Amino acid sequence: MFVRRIAVIGSGYVGLTTGACLASLGHRVVCADVDASKVAQLAAGKVPILEPGLPELVVEGLAAGRLQFVVGAATAVGQGPDAAEVVFLCVPTPMGAGGAADLSAVETVAAEVRSLLPAGCVVVNKSTVPVGTAARTAQLLDRPDVAVVSNPEFLREGSAVEDFLNPDRIVVGCDAQDAAERVAALYARLGAPAVLTDAASAELVKYAANCFLAMKLSYVNAVAELCERVGADVLDVTEGIGYDRRIGQSFLQPGPGWGGSCLPKDTHALLQVCSAADFDFSLLRASMDTNTRQQHRMVDKIREAVGGSLAGQRVGLLGLTFKAGTDDLRDSPALTVAALLATEGADLIGYDPEVPAAVPGMTDDLQVSDDPLKVASGAAALVVLTEWPEFRLLDWGRLAELVERRIVIDTRNLLDADVLRRVGFEVRGVGRRPSQVLTSS
Ligand code: UGA
């Protein structure tokens, strides 16, 4: 394998994982960020995000001299014989006005590095960007001797390193085949199938994948609602359909709606791409509406459980992050449900193993406690919103003594209803058969 000199611009989830993993594959990587304190932390081997395996890779890369952290894109690109041969753009592309991706960070970096890039260098876009961004980046760079490649990333928060090092596929898009092949070769040691295509197709792969996952989840959440109405059990139904290899067992867990920093943003952004292309992707829109409906349905369940009105009712929330295994609160369905409950006057207190204290601007609708017992104290209902495995192991006997009413709404179908029933709790899941969840005897 050729060892390449690589610059990674942006040291967030994707950039940091990309940099640390490429260094572990033997490449020489310089990661840049605009935040000097973050860079100092990383250079000292301290990783500011919860991501299994990442701290170890960062420390290993630093010690081996294959990984460096610097402030600013220009420094990372470097000069002379040490200049980067491949420059990864891993900057944020948040939801901008009207739901379209905001590309200002990509534009800023392009302007900053355009005159510094050595001839023959490849600029790789790993950020999730609308179709046509590679072409637009090439225009902004205005460097015919530099190829722009789209190489979307499919890693999940909480398993980012594992996903990077064991990918289902590598997707590389460029209108110049040799540049695409050079980027694909960076990953040669991973042995994953490589899809080499044009830039627009690679850009669309990323949106099409995330939106498919969102649709799959909305489908499952809709099936869960149907299960409740007809007296079926969604766990049996999803197991039954999941054995079909064309469907697969993964991504079939119903929940309080899907969230996080990617699926909500990318579904909105693809709708914008569709509208610009004069295409009504009604299937995608329906999936987004189903997601909103699912969040409201959770609130309906909670309201019903506390007797018809949430006003003044103490509700204890277990889990605040958008899924287990992360400390990320961005677009968390738990917080959306909390906001809806707060609108109806509920008095909210929440616990999350990775959110020890209030996060201003995120958790303003509730009081955050570091103790699940405090969350249970006086609660008219407890609501599981994130599938943290440790919630199964809480001292439910003790919680039963503390709550005002022994009822749990388990939006993740996480808990063992039999265990809870033994200490007097009624457990209501999502899409579960009523006979399994409604009685406390
Ligand atoms: C998602 C994609 O899964 C990654 O492939 C992609 O690379 C990433 O976005 C990205 O674009 O960067 P992530 O946002 O980390 O990854 O989260 P997911 O694991 O996809 O979960 C998204 C939401 O779906 C969460 O709220 C989760 O709780 C929910 N979910 C997931 C379910 O409700 N049920 C499931 O069975 C799976």
pLDDT in tens, 277-320: 999 999 999 999 999 999 999 999 999 999 999 999 999 999 99
- Say how many Å lie between the CA of residue 210 and the centre of ligand 1: 8
- The residue whose CA has the least distance to atom 20 of ligand 1 is 156
User: Which is the closest atom of ligand 1 to the Cα of 255?
Assistant: 33
Rounded-to-integer distance, Cα 396 and Cα 420, Å: 7
- The residue whose CA has the least distance to atom 7 of ligand 1 is 154
- The residue whose CA has the least distance to atom 13 of ligand 1 is 156
Q: What is the pLDDT of residue 128?
A: 84
Helix (H, G, I), strand (E, B) or coil at 158: coil
User: Which is the closest atom of ligand 1 to the Cα of 261?
Assistant: 14
Give me the catalytic one of 21, 121, 262, 274: 262
- The residue whose CA has the least distance to atom 10 of ligand 1 is 262
Among 213, 216, 237, 250, residue to substitute to test ligand 1 (most atoms within 8 Å of Cβ): 213
User: Which is the closest atom of ligand 1 to the Cα of 252?
Assistant: 36
Closest CA relative to residue 5, chosen from 32, 23, 20, 24: 23
- Say how many Å lie between the CA of residue 162 and the centre of ligand 1: 15
Angle at 198 between CA 196 and CA 202, to 5 degrees: 75
> What residues form DSSP beta bridges with 437?
none
Q: Cβ(290)–Cβ(221) under 8 Å?
A: yes
Rounded-to-integer distance, Cα 184 and Cα 172, Å: 6
Helix (H, G, I), strand (E, B) or coil at 55: helix
Structure tokens at 54: 């990442």
Q: What is the pLDDT of residue 313?
A: 98
Matching residue, tokens 């006057």: 345
Going across the sheet that includes 28-33, the strands are 67-71, 28-33, 5-9, 86-89, 122-125, 147-150, 170-173, 194-197
Rounded-to-integer distance, Cα 223 and Cα 254, Å: 9
Structure tokens at 139: 């225009």
- Which ranges constitute the DSSP H helices of 158-250? 160-165, 177-186, 199-230, 234-242
Rounded-to-integer distance, Cα 441 and Cα 437, Å: 10
Rounded-to-integer distance, Cα 20 and Cα 429, Å: 40
- The residue whose CA has the least distance to atom 17 of ligand 1 is 156
Rounded-to-integer distance, Cα 384 and Cα 305, Å: 14
- Say how many Å lie between the CA of residue 376 and the centre of ligand 1: 29
- Say how many Å lie between the CA of residue 110 and the centre of ligand 1: 29
Write down the pTM of the prediction.
0.92
Instruction: Write the DSSP assignment of 267-332 as a string of letters.
Output: HHHHHHHHHHTT---HHHHHHHHHHHHHHHHHHHHHHHHTTS--TT-EEEEE--SSSTT----TT-
- Say how many Å lie between the CA of residue 113 and the centre of ligand 1: 33
For residue 262, indicate whether it is catalytic: yes
Ligand 1 site residues, Cβ closer than 6 angstroms? 128, 153-157, 210, 213, 217, 251-253, 255, 258-263, 322-323, 333
Helix (H, G, I), strand (E, B) or coil at 170: strand
**254: exposed, middle or buried (C-beta count within 10 Å: 0-12, 13-18, 19+)?**
buried
- The residue whose CA has the least distance to atom 3 of ligand 1 is 156
Q: What is the pLDDT of residue 432?
A: 94
Q: What is the pLDDT of residue 348?
A: 98
User: Which is the closest atom of ligand 1 to the Cα of 326?
Assistant: 15
Structure tokens at 240: 């039954």
Q: What is the pLDDT of residue 1?
A: 66
Residue range 65-99, pLDDT digits in tens? 999 999 999 999 998 888 999 999 999 888 788 77
Each of the 441 residues of the chain gets a pLDDT tens digit; together they read: 678 999 999 999 999 999 999 999 999 999 999 999 999 999 999 999 889 999 999 999 999 999 999 999 999 999 888 899 999 999 988 878 877 788 899 999 999 999 999 999 999 999 888 888 999 999 999 999 999 999 999 999 899 999 999 999 999 999 899 999 999 999 999 999 999 999 999 999 999 999 999 999 999 999 999 999 999 999 999 999 999 999 999 999 999 999 999 999 999 999 999 999 999 999 999 999 999 999 999 999 999 999 999 999 999 999 999 999 999 999 999 999 999 999 999 999 999 999 999 999 999 999 999 999 999 999 999 999 999 999 999 999 999 999 999 999 999 999 999 999 999 999 999 999 754 444 444
Q: What is the pLDDT of residue 96?
A: 83
Matching residue, tokens 């490589």: 194
Structure tokens at 32: 């840049």
